Structure 1
Amino acid sequence: MKNILCLIFGGFIVLVGCQSEPRKIVPEVPLITVPVKKVVTKKVMADAATIISKKEVPILCYHNIKDFSSSASGNIKVYTVKPPAFAAQMKALADAGYETILPEQLYDYLVYDGPLPAKPIMITFDDTRGEQFSIGAAEMKKYGFKGVFFVMTVSINRPGYMSKEQIKSLSDDGHVVGAHTWDHHMVTKYTGDDWNTQLVKPKAKLEDIIGKPVKDFAYPFGLWNTAAIPEIKKSDYKMAYILSTKRDSVDPLYTIRRIIVSGTWSTEGMINSINSSFNKTE
């Protein structure tokens, strides 16, 4: 009996000894997430020489869109495009694959090498004429085109010119509203308070109408001088537009070139003028 008890006790000892040790519970260590610091690459502005060297974007300038007789003066024929001709020109641009761009996209292209459509074009209007809204914007809408409307503020709400509501409607529809002085006096003749009257006040009035910043300015008659550029900059305009004269080598953003679309051109002539005017080197 004693021997049996010894065997049982010995077996129990062996059994206990064969069991694995109790598993130790190791507390979980919380995973520490280290935030990744975002690297912000500062854009470098292109210098004047680089901007001048870039391929120019074609920019068209329209004034009047209305009928005129064959006996009309030379100025009327140059500054006026008949409504059917304007409609044909918009269709021709669309058929040729042109896509409209606006000033902000042009600025990004010139200054930061931003992307452009394969065939970019900018369509601009000077002097606030009413038919620019009723005919110009309506025809452009057929092709998804957007334009830039340079307003001389003295004309707002006058017969034959755009109203405040029409100007606001253009802006709300995605067009850009720019300044074209108060009363179209030449920038080259400004002195004293003229800068405030012709640059600062019109900008403020237009911003009050559309509820957006006004950043673009068109020189009356396309005439400019180097004395005007610091004043335009000081008035917080980002770009200014001339006509088809040579750009300034120091401040090309304030001498953006455009061509007037003449009422004497055929539709084919308009396309040819785009190619000849904007595919040349200065």
Structure 2
Amino acid sequence: MRNRIAAVALALAGATAASSAAPSASPPSATRIALTGTPIQGGTLIGTVPSGTVDLRFDGQPVPVDADGRFLVAFDRDAAPQASLSARLADGRTLDQALTVAPRAWRIERVDVPLRPTKNSEAFLALRKPELEQIAAARAIVTDATGWRQRFIWPRTGRISGLFGSQRIYQGQPGAYHGGVDVAGAPGDPVVAPADGVVILAAGHPFTLEGNLLMIDHGHGLNSAFLHLSRIDVILGQHVLQGQRIGAVGATGRATGPHLHWGMKWNDVRIDPLLLAGPMPGN
């Protein structure tokens, strides 16, 4: 199993380079939106709009643009094959750019057992509802973070024990896919910020599923969530720098053993942290 996960992670390295490494060879012009990377399921694109752009849309939804024209968009794990960008210029012109989204070969495991229905007690639901409300409220916070512009680093180096997008199919019924990357570790191993950001949630007590949950906003709708921590070393509203210690590996919440679960979202889109951070150092 370990070798299989390592092989899949290494195979993703090529997609990583396309998604977040080299800048686009095409500079922005008055007739085109310049893009860095390749559209791919679970990935991101950083782009630059032409001077004079007054509105940018991604599949019809507004996208914030910085003063220098740079912006960020991302693609869900199950993103459709086609997407579009549309920029409206001050002179009334509209620039439309079609995007072809590359598919991913997700790690799918088919098992010949039925999917067990989830049975949540009233006591569990009473605890879970305010937790979900806190998470939603945190993701709605807009900060001045600019970490989305950086090349991300791994918050913890080690063996990748769980891949983003992996999924089990139970006698034809799909279970929920894995929404982040798991990195094995020992309790107390340090966890660092993968990019600059602002703390938008630092759980004051372990959540039922996530345990000690820490969330950091990187700007432009991009945020990271760190689950199962044994300790949180930062506070709500704190600005953190890339590489700064933010917590420690643990097994709080619903976890079978100590590890770091790193999840990322761009607005409501779940994305693959591996595509932003690149291959795990040492692998």
Determine which structure has the larger helix proportion and give its number.
Answer: 1
- TM-score, reference length from structure 1: 0.21
Determine which structure has the larger strand proportion and give its number.
Answer: 2
- TM-score, reference length from structure 2: 0.21
Larger radius of gyration between Structure 1 and Structure 2:
1
